[in-house]
Amino acid sequence: MTLSIKKVTKKYSDLTAVNAIDFTIDAGEIFGLIGQNGAGKTTTFRMILNLQAATAGDISWQGKPINQLNRDLLGYLPEERGIFPQMTVEKQLYFFGELHGKRKKDLKPVIDYWLERFDLNDKRQAKAETLSKGNQQKVQLLASFIHQPQFLILDEPFSGLDPVNRELLMTAIIDLRDQGMTILFSSHQMDNVEELCDRLCILKKGEMLFSGALQDLKQQYGKVNLRVRSSLTAAELANLTGVVNVVTTKDGYTLRLADESYGPALFEQIGDGAYIEKFSMDYLSLDELFKLKVGEGNE
């Protein structure tokens, strides 16, 4: 393992922002940390970055306490903008790289490579304030890892990006992972988390609701999403045993089942010996699982 968080708690007077959270992040892994606003994600980031001390518990990197490490090993993309509006893109990247101990001559090929890859080469002399929101986000992401850290925290890296630039950054993050960088990733867009992370931690009001493999979380609920296309109406489908609710879609109906064990019987009932154009059972999406875990049913 690379990063270890053991029974970590953070209190502010009478407020417990994080309560005894416990997880590990393996080397070369993209690990998801998700939760609603106020769940404790930012507090956790700040403790990992040694910007705040934990009230209790231990945070270690490769077996060494996080507060004893050279901070140049870490990179951080905050959710809020953290670049200088009056500084040019190129100067900005050199500034952040040199701030983390890198020499200008060593930064040049790295900066040239990433500006070309992120389609920012013609913007290198432009001031940050003149860039589109998407290009500002790309510069901010570059600034977080231009010094080539071993561990990188990304908080909402796809904010303000169109689908093309989202895919561009998604591929870059995966490549950084494949090169050995360990990444802690957070987003309110669950499809991004599901696409990038094999393992994750879900927080709610400072409490850890789940930590582990996404597939394990999905298997807790089973294949309870049933998509069908048949001659039966929504009302008729809703009356079948094992069906919790029915949603009409452009491509038929999506049924939520009480349990996946109802699948075979429903196949027989819906088909009733006739051809079924579509019958597909699947796990819940991470977005659906997140709502179940932290939604009103858990209040």
Instruction: Give residue-wise pLDDT tens across range 63-92.
Output: 999 988 888 999 999 988 778 999 999 999
Supply 177's token pair.
């992972």
| DSSP class of 100 | T
For the entire predicted model, the pTM comes to: 0.90
- C-alpha–C-alpha distance, residues 270 and 105, integer Å: 68
Whole-number pLDDT of residue 299: 42
- C-alpha–C-alpha distance, residues 140 and 95, integer Å: 12
Report the chain's mean pLDDT, rounded to a whole number: 93
**86 contacts: CB under 8 Å, gap ≥ 6:** 127, 128, 129
Q: Residue 262 burial by CB count (10 A; 0-12/13-18/19+): exposed, middle or buried?
A: buried
Strands 3-12 and 56-61: antiparallel
Whole-number pLDDT of residue 34: 96
Strand order in the sheet with 64-65: 15-25, 3-12, 56-61, 64-65
Q: Which of 68, 76, 65 is nearest to 3 (CA)?
A: 65
Residue 277 — pLDDT band, cuts 50, 70, 90?
Answer: confident
CA distances 203 to 158, 187, 188, Å, are: 21, 12, 12
pLDDT at 212 over 60: yes
**pLDDT: which is higher, 296 or 123:** 123
Q: Residue 55 burial by CB count (10 A; 0-12/13-18/19+): exposed, middle or buried?
A: middle
Give percent of the chain with pLDDT exceeding 70: 98
Mean pLDDT of 276-291: 94
Task: Enumerate domains of the chain plus CATH numbers.
Answer: 3-213 (3.40.50.300), 223-282 (3.30.70.920)
Strands 182-186 and 151-155: parallel
CA angle, corner 293, sides to 291 and 298, nearest 5?
100
Whole-number pLDDT of residue 276: 84
Q: Which of 151, 149, 144 is nearest to 26 (CA)?
A: 151
Judged by DSSP in three states, 232 sits in: coil
Q: What is the pLDDT of residues 132-165, one digit of tens each?
A: 999 999 999 999 999 999 999 999 999 889 999 9
Mean pLDDT of 190-200: 95
What are 249's strand-pairing partners? 252
Whole-number pLDDT of residue 93: 97
| DSSP class of 167 | H
Q: Which of 211, 213, 252, 210 is nearest to 230 (CA)?
A: 252
Range in 165-179, 189-203, 270-284 the model is least confident about: 270-284
What does 101-123 look like in DSSP terms, one character per residue? T--HHHHHHHHHHHHHHTT-GGG
Whole-number pLDDT of residue 199: 96
Range in 109-118, 187-196, 268-277 the model is least confident about: 268-277
CA distances 60 to 1, 100, 170, 237, Å, are: 10, 20, 28, 53
Mean pLDDT of 172-198: 95
What does 137-161 look like in DSSP terms, one character per residue? HHHHHHHHHTT--SEEEEESTTTT-
**102 contacts: CB under 8 Å, gap ≥ 6:** 146, 147, 148
Whole-number pLDDT of residue 1: 59
pLDDT at 297 over 60: no
pLDDT at 298 over 50: no
Give percent of the chain with pLDDT exceeding 90: 85
pLDDT at 222 over 50: yes
